[in-house]
Amino acid sequence: MKLIDEILKLPLSVRLLFSLLILIISAQLKLDIGLIVPFTLQTFVICLIIYWFNFWPSILIISSYIVLATIGVPVLSGWNTLNENNLFSSGGFLLGFLLTTALMGLLKSSFNFKKFFSILLFAFFIHLVILLIGTFAFYSFDNGLNTVFKTFVYLIPGVLFKSFLFSFLIYSFRKT
């Protein structure tokens, strides 16, 4: 808890840059815990960003990440950039990151972060909205409905794992 208190004392600009750096690093960390597909921790970090920051700082962090990917800085999973080869797959999720950050940033006040189930719903909604936008809005243009369904189903175990991990951490820190 002391570390979090010290981080919160840092100027907002430093916390924003630190969060952006953590988001970039989280995109490179692939976990394979025996589920259908390995997953990164990007959406887990997005949950943290939405939780820790107010609306506009959260939007700024996610927008900065998207701008970096768009202008050719290799920040996406596998140190990739956004280009014509991954526009529909990565672009859909990037749009999902931004729209979800806006939506959940506005709805954040309606969650009770003292109750585990409420924290779990918060994290699950974040992951679910990103997943829905990323798969349905963009994969359907590129690969058809069958691929949309497979992608959605394959990513659900990671969504559940990251939602429970986020909930456990936030609930544990809130109790201390």
- pLDDT of 46 > 70? The answer is yes
Q: How much of the chain exceeds pLDDT 90, in percent?
A: 51
- Kindly report the pTM of this predicted structure: 0.86
Q: Of the ranges 91-105, 125-139, 154-168, which one carries the lowest mean pLDDT score? A: 125-139
Q: In whole angstroms, give the CA distance from residue 158 to residue 139.
A: 18
| CATH 3.20.20.140 assigned to 2-175 | no
